[in-house]
Chain A
Amino acid sequence: MWKVFSYLKTYRVAIAAALFLTLSELAVELMQPLIMAKIIDDGILKGDLDVVKYWGAVMFGLALAAFAAGIANSFFSAHVSQSYGFDIRRRVFEKVQAFSFVNFNKFPASSLITRMTHDVTQLQNTVFMSLRIMLRAPLLLAGGVIMSLIVNWKLAMVLVVALPFLLFFLRWVLHTAGTMFRDVQDRLDGVNRVMRENLMGMRLIKAFLRRDHESSRFEKASDDLKVQTVSSLRLIEVSIPVLLLVMNIAILAILWFGSRQVNLGAIEVGEVVAIVNYSFRISSVLTIISFIIMAFSRAKASAQRIGEVLDTEIDLIEAEDTDQSINLQKGHVEFKNVSFKYPESDAFVLQDLSFSVKAGETLAILGSTGSGKTSLFQLVPRLYDVADGEVLIDGTNVKAYPIDTLRNGIGVVPQEAVLFTGSVLENIGWGKEGASEEEIVQAAKDAQIHETVEKLPDQYETRVGQRGVNLSGGQKQRLSIARALVRKPKILMLDDSTSALDLKTEAKLLAALRKYSCTTFIITQKISTAMEADHILLLDDGRAEAWGTHAELLETSPLYVKIVQSQFGEEGFQYVKGFKQTSST
């Protein structure tokens, strides 16, 4: 948490300037009554107009100076707070970009979002406020007490006794409210989460008429937020009346003791009056203090939440001695006794897999749903680390590659086509930094999406909404394929990415892929696609059930035969049996 506040150090100078300006303003404010007294005593009372004019001018000048200081303070304070917020957002975002998927699982997306926006806003506002008014409260407080001590230290002891109690109470409020506001922010996450789910699943919710159901979920979440916000705020607001009461009782004590002292002749009435006046001034600061407490306890909670993100240890990193010059040359992929399980679970998803795919070859992966196909894919670009064994590319363990080099050599097309807000051009170009328009169009042609794009209202400049909502499933898939192709990857990985394509388009696509000299991994359900591949890996429950070419598997694997029959029937089966690969390598 303190780390988050420590980022303010960058702005030492501006902070010092802002505080200095606040102090000068305060000084002017304190000087004013003195000048006022001078005008009255030496000017008006003595009938000296020159004195009135002189001091009036001085007062006017000082007021202008204070104004200038205040305006300048605005610039400095806004600069510090906004730049501070900017820095934190940058740090958090950068940190999150470095997260592994294990790290991601710790923070739901909705929570990361609130941390990056709402929590930062809280901190920002607190900093701004601190630079402008925070100093006043303690200074006025201390000033009042010191002045009272000077006037009559015996009587002022009442204040000195009351003060520790006040400070202790404030500390308690700050601490308790901090914890409570932490909960408020977490519940805000909850509201955000339900909202996000609703936006993502809007179609389904409408289809199943679950508006009321969702409304009650949302109402529950926002009610939770409301209840917690109310009790946190109420706690804070208790502080003013309590502090006020304590101060007021202290004043009564001063009056009572004061009157006894006056009776004894040990003290002047004027002294009592002065101390009472100072006490009133101290209580007028209390409102500011409670305001500060509120801001600080919220800031504390937010800083904690941001600190959690920043302090997360990233578990998937390059080794320090990684050779940065190493390159992904050919694309020969080898799995050696690879086992894998997701870090948060105990069950192995892949077990003891060994195979090798030479550069330029195609591997088709088949298997029932949940057999580990997608998990296997994730190991090649090192989205996860293996639990056991090795994944080698061109004979080098993937862990030895710089992560950027490794992933830059790989083109991944995920199962669910994720697109980003932006034009079609931008979405395809996303695959390769600085891709030329020709490259993008070529990739689009190969992905069989060029013609479709040409028919769109603004062709390549057509805006695609989040998740590509205004495109059909097949169109999204092909855009996502084009995005991978534009990188001219050494290894292309298609995760069942042609499921929404009709067979004709798919065939054209696969034909176009052949001219890319890359190793291709393709997860598919379709035998017609698999039989074109150099190797077929049949997964069953995370193990290699069979490995070989189409012809070999027809002989050796009963499960494969079963799959073939499920797709072609008995009659088609005979046809498939006689199939010869068209792309013999």
Chain B
Amino acid sequence: MSKGSNRPHPHNHLFGEKVKPKYWASTVKRIGSYFSNQKWLLSLVLLMVIISSALSLLGPFLIGVAIDSYIVKENAEGLTKLLIGLIFVFIGQSLSIWLQNYWMIGIAQQTVYRMRKDLFKQFHRLSISFFDKRQHGELMSRVTNDIENVSSTLNSSFIQVFSSILTLVGTIAVMIYLSPLLTIISLSIVPLMVFGLKWITKRTGARFKEQQRNLGEINGYVEEITSGQRIVKSFSQEKRVIEEFMVKNERLKESGYWAQTFSGFIPKLMNVLNNGSFALIAGVGGVLALNGKVSIGVIVIFVEYSRQFTRPLNDLANQFNTLLSAVAGAERVFEILDESREERDEEEAIELSSVKGKVEFKEVSFSYEGDDQTVSGLSFSVKEGETVALVGPTGAGKTTVVNLLSRFYDADHGQILIDGHDIKNVKRSSLRSHMAFVLQDSFLFEGSIFENIRYGRLDASDEEVIEAAKLANAHSFIQKLPKGYKTILNQEGSGISQGQKQLLSIARAILANPSLLILDEATSSIDTITEMKIQEALQRLMKGRTSFVIAHRLNTIQQADQILVLHDGGILEKGTHGELLNHKGFYYSLYNS
């Protein structure tokens, strides 16, 4: 479904897809780029890592001194002094560890926060058609599951990786100092490690990605089914839904199983290679010692060091694991960030400071992706302040006209002019700021009724909100609610009826006070008596501003200055109510059916 999943992989290996390391590296780099504005804090963390590493070496060293020089020699006074000194060393060590973690957590979470914000902003930049094809829950999974994956890795990995490298370098240096030959022998396992890691990464990388994708799909399914719970229940389809869920659940388990199993190999591989290097050092060292090439002491120390050498390597290998799953998560985030922002305005796009409301469609054609032409060769013009009604059978293209006018979609051919400006050259934000909408599905947010109406104009006072509600005839039912305007509407919308939702949407549009008003089936769920009551308010609202009205109940649009009868994406008839009736055409038959 998602774009990334279909990305062709040039090399298809026998065992799973190959993840290109270049791709991998660029993802890691890109995560890194989020750190860039926290450089100085990050340097502090590094400094603390260095200090804590140094102190953690100094502590045992001083204890060695304490034993050798004071305890063995029974120098109590010297010992006390040294122990007091050691207390400070240990406090310093703990303090520097604490500080590095403290800062790192801040850096990591700030990074995650920014990533989330970027993702959210990107969602708003994408065009409506992007969302037509995607499940909400699948997209939500990227904001939660995928980013959380990155989050849990960033908290610990950075410090771990850095301190491991530090220890590694230090140990190798000492080892070389002790015996270059034995060092080479112990390092001989490194190519094997790299090879093994590559082998595993090739398998896990793709699997982690798959796991995140399957998780996203489950998220999508759960979201969709939960949203449609009313249907599931009414049709008693719980069993089927559970079965479908189980298929996805099984798939997630499968991919998760292999991702985890393979990644579980990494530390074990490290272990066996380390053990191998032990044996090698012991064996080769033994032979060398027998030949008198190295002293036994060196071998003993060397074995100890090579144990030290393996610890950070092991740590690194373990981090590799979580890093893989973080990369899988991050890739899915970047996938969205890399979608082209279709909503980018033309460079020379202008702002419209005011709109009078003259609208002209010139030979406009448009089709939704993959569909037949929804609208073709559409031409009409509307004078400022006029009310235009769009009528026609369902699927005739009425909502499409409105979608094009507000640039939810851009026309494929032809021009749409407002006050003579081609709207393609007008900034979308500027264009829409002059419009107010009552859309077909009246969406309300979780929040109070006050907040929902105020969505039309954020700086409106309570009085203005109530005034708008009164005009929309919503005031009376709102007052009957136990908490009145402060009633919290929950997302599932229980509590108020569909018709009442529409009244609130109308109030919202009234409050917005636009130059261009668009009513798409604004009163379809409202009973006719209430409709009559708000009709007056709507008439008043439409007066003096250009309005587009879509309605099936033809008696609501009789006063329109112009009625466009759409059929199969073209204009079949146009005129006033009276003219069209006299014409005795399609409109006439619609009206009298």
Question: Could you tell me the distance between the alpha carbons of A509 and B240 in the complex, rounded to whole angstroms?
Answer: 29
Given A215-B117, A225-B113, A241-B101, 13 new contacts (CB under 8 A): A63-B271, A78-B256, A81-B260, A116-B222, A117-B222, A121-B215, A241-B95, A252-B83, A259-B71, A262-B74, A406-B236, A414-B230, A418-B231
A256 in contact with B218 (CB, 8 Å)? no
Q: Does B228 contact A (CB under 8 A)?
A: yes
A192 in contact with B140 (CB, 8 Å)? yes
When distances are taken between beta carbons in the complex, the residues of chain B under 8 Å from A196 are 136-137, 140, 223, 491
When distances are taken between beta carbons in the complex, the residues of chain B under 8 Å from A75 are 261
Question: Could you tell me the distance between the alpha carbons of A104 and B232 in the complex, rounded to whole angstroms?
Answer: 13
B252 in contact with A197 (CB, 8 Å)? no
Q: In this complex, what residue of B is CB-closest to A383?
A: B233
Q: How far is the CB of B267 from chain A (nearest CB, A)?
A: 7
Question: Could you tell me the distance between the alpha carbons of A404 and B215 in the complex, rounded to whole angstroms?
Answer: 30
Known A-B contacts A117-B222, A465-B133; the reply to A39 vs B121 at CB < 8 A is no
Mark interface residues in B429-447 (1 if CB within 8 Å of A CB, else 0).
1001101110111010110
Q: Does A138 contact B (CB under 8 A)?
A: no
What is the total number of residues of chain B having a CB less than 8 Å from a CB of chain A?
172
When distances are taken between beta carbons in the complex, the residues of chain B under 8 Å from A469 are 131-132
A213 in contact with B477 (CB, 8 Å)? no
Known A-B contacts A83-B253, A116-B222, A241-B95; the reply to A193 vs B215 at CB < 8 A is no
When distances are taken between beta carbons in the complex, the residues of chain B under 8 Å from A86 are 249-250, 252-253
A472 in contact with B399 (CB, 8 Å)? yes
A116 in contact with B218 (CB, 8 Å)? yes
A499 in contact with B525 (CB, 8 Å)? yes
Question: Could you tell me the distance between the alpha carbons of A487 and B83 in the complex, rounded to whole angstroms?
Answer: 85
Known A-B contacts A219-B117, A369-B477, A473-B521; the reply to A259 vs B432 at CB < 8 A is no
Q: In this complex, what residue of A is CB-closest to B139?
A: A199
Q: In this complex, what residue of A is CB-closest to B300?
A: A40
When distances are taken between beta carbons in the complex, the residues of chain A under 8 Å from B392 are 502
Question: Could you tell me the distance between the alpha carbons of A195 and B490 in the complex, rounded to whole angstroms?
Answer: 15
Q: Does B394 contact A (CB under 8 A)?
A: yes
When distances are taken between beta carbons in the complex, the residues of chain A under 8 Å from B249 are 86, 89-90, 93
Question: Could you tell me the distance between the alpha carbons of A415 and B252 in the complex, rounded to whole angstroms?
Answer: 35
* Cβ < 8 Å to A, chain B residues 235-292: 235-238, 240-242, 245-246, 249-250, 252-253, 256-258, 260-262, 264-265, 267-269, 271-272, 275-276, 278-279, 282-283, 285-287, 289-290
B492 in contact with A105 (CB, 8 Å)? yes
When distances are taken between beta carbons in the complex, the residues of chain A under 8 Å from B530 are 368-369
Q: Does A135 contact B (CB under 8 A)?
A: no
Interface residue range, chain A: 35 or more
A234 in contact with B102 (CB, 8 Å)? yes
Question: Could you tell me the distance between the alpha carbons of A249 and B490 in the complex, rounded to whole angstroms?
Answer: 56
When distances are taken between beta carbons in the complex, the residues of chain B under 8 Å from A331 are none
Q: In this complex, what residue of B is CB-closest to A408?
A: B236
B265 contact from A74, A410, A502, Cβ within 8 A:
A74
When distances are taken between beta carbons in the complex, the residues of chain B under 8 Å from A64 are 272
Most buried by A among B131, B215, B285: B131
When distances are taken between beta carbons in the complex, the residues of chain A under 8 Å from B362 are none
Most buried by A among B134, B151, B275, B530: B275
A370 in contact with B439 (CB, 8 Å)? no
Q: In this complex, what residue of B is CB-closest to A291?
A: B156
A369 in contact with B527 (CB, 8 Å)? yes
Q: Does A240 contact B (CB under 8 A)?
A: yes
B143 in contact with A195 (CB, 8 Å)? yes
When distances are taken between beta carbons in the complex, the residues of chain A under 8 Å from B246 are 90
Q: Which of B21-29, B353-361, B495-503 forms contacts with chain A?
A: B495-503
Question: Could you tell me the distance between the alpha carbons of A566 and B526 in the complex, rounded to whole angstroms?
Answer: 13
B264 in contact with A255 (CB, 8 Å)? no
When distances are taken between beta carbons in the complex, the residues of chain B under 8 Å from A132 are 264
B257 in contact with A79 (CB, 8 Å)? yes
Q: Does A149 contact B (CB under 8 A)?
A: no
When distances are taken between beta carbons in the complex, the residues of chain B under 8 Å from A465 are 132-134
Q: Does A272 contact B (CB under 8 A)?
A: yes
13 contacts between A and B (CB under 8 A): A104-B492, A108-B491, A113-B140, A117-B145, A208-B508, A272-B67, A368-B530, A371-B527, A525-B525, A525-B531, A525-B553, A526-B528, A527-B528
Q: Which of B10-18, B180-188, B365-373, B570-578 forms contacts with chain A?
A: B365-373
* Cβ < 8 Å to B, chain A residues 239-278: 240-242, 244-245, 248-249, 251-252, 255-256, 258-260, 262-263, 269, 272-273, 276
When distances are taken between beta carbons in the complex, the residues of chain A under 8 Å from B109 are 226, 229-230, 233
Mark interface residues in A175-191 (1 if CB within 8 Å of B CB, else 0).
00000000000001001
Most buried by A among B124, B215, B296, B406: B124
When distances are taken between beta carbons in the complex, the residues of chain A under 8 Å from B258 are 78
Q: Does A214 contact B (CB under 8 A)?
A: yes
When distances are taken between beta carbons in the complex, the residues of chain B under 8 Å from A195 are 120, 139-140, 143-144
Q: Does A109 contact B (CB under 8 A)?
A: yes
* In the A-B complex, the 7 residue pairs with the closest CB atoms: A474-B394, A369-B499, A70-B268, A74-B264, A63-B275, A241-B94, A407-B236
A430 in contact with B235 (CB, 8 Å)? yes
Q: Does B66 contact A (CB under 8 A)?
A: yes
When distances are taken between beta carbons in the complex, the residues of chain A under 8 Å from B552 are 499-503
Question: Could you tell me the distance between the alpha carbons of A469 and B443 in the complex, rounded to whole angstroms?
Answer: 14
Q: How far is the CB of B517 from chain A (nearest CB, A)?
A: 12
When distances are taken between beta carbons in the complex, the residues of chain A under 8 Å from B282 are 36, 39-40, 52, 56, 59
Q: Does B93 contact A (CB under 8 A)?
A: yes
Question: Could you tell me the distance between the alpha carbons of A470 and B371 in the complex, rounded to whole angstroms?
Answer: 9
A466 contact from B128, B224, B233, B256, Cβ within 8 A:
B224
A237 in contact with B275 (CB, 8 Å)? no
Question: Could you tell me the distance between the alpha carbons of A345 and B442 in the complex, rounded to whole angstroms?
Answer: 24
When distances are taken between beta carbons in the complex, the residues of chain B under 8 Å from A211 are 124
Question: Could you tell me the distance between the alpha carbons of A113 and B139 in the complex, rounded to whole angstroms?
Answer: 12
Known A-B contacts A63-B279, A415-B498, A503-B593; the reply to A244 vs B70 at CB < 8 A is no
When distances are taken between beta carbons in the complex, the residues of chain B under 8 Å from A527 are 528
Known A-B contacts A83-B253, A226-B110, A470-B371; the reply to A487 vs B235 at CB < 8 A is yes
B590 in contact with A113 (CB, 8 Å)? no
Most buried by B among A39, A207, A452, A566: A207
Question: Could you tell me the distance between the alpha carbons of A280 and B63 in the complex, rounded to whole angstroms?
Answer: 11
Question: Could you tell me the distance between the alpha carbons of A220 and B70 in the complex, rounded to whole angstroms?
Answer: 59
Known A-B contacts A252-B86, A420-B228; the reply to A562 vs B529 at CB < 8 A is yes
When distances are taken between beta carbons in the complex, the residues of chain B under 8 Å from A202 are 123-124, 128, 131
Q: How far is the CB of A275 from chain B (nearest CB, A)?
A: 11
B394 contact from A226, A418, A502, Cβ within 8 A:
A502
B242 in contact with A97 (CB, 8 Å)? yes
B94 in contact with A242 (CB, 8 Å)? yes
When distances are taken between beta carbons in the complex, the residues of chain B under 8 Å from A222 are 113, 116-117, 120
Q: How far is the CB of B554 from chain A (nearest CB, A)?
A: 8
Q: Does B158 contact A (CB under 8 A)?
A: no
Q: Does A206 contact B (CB under 8 A)?
A: yes
Q: How far is the CB of A21 from chain B (nearest CB, A)?
A: 10
Q: Which of A2-10, A42-50, A546-554 forms contacts with chain B?
A: A42-50
When distances are taken between beta carbons in the complex, the residues of chain A under 8 Å from B553 are 525-526, 567
Mark interface residues in A365-376 (1 if CB within 8 Å of B CB, else 0).
011111101100
A204 in contact with B260 (CB, 8 Å)? no
Known A-B contacts A75-B261, A563-B528; the reply to A416 vs B498 at CB < 8 A is yes
When distances are taken between beta carbons in the complex, the residues of chain B under 8 Å from A470 are 132, 368, 371
A209 in contact with B433 (CB, 8 Å)? yes
Q: Does B57 contact A (CB under 8 A)?
A: no
Q: In this complex, what residue of B is CB-closest to A471?
A: B395
When distances are taken between beta carbons in the complex, the residues of chain B under 8 Å from A474 are 393-395
Most buried by B among A77, A197, A225, A237: A237
B264 in contact with A82 (CB, 8 Å)? no
When distances are taken between beta carbons in the complex, the residues of chain A under 8 Å from B237 are 430
B94 in contact with A369 (CB, 8 Å)? no
When distances are taken between beta carbons in the complex, the residues of chain B under 8 Å from A229 are 109, 151
When distances are taken between beta carbons in the complex, the residues of chain B under 8 Å from A455 are 372
Q: Does B135 contact A (CB under 8 A)?
A: yes
Q: Does A169 contact B (CB under 8 A)?
A: no
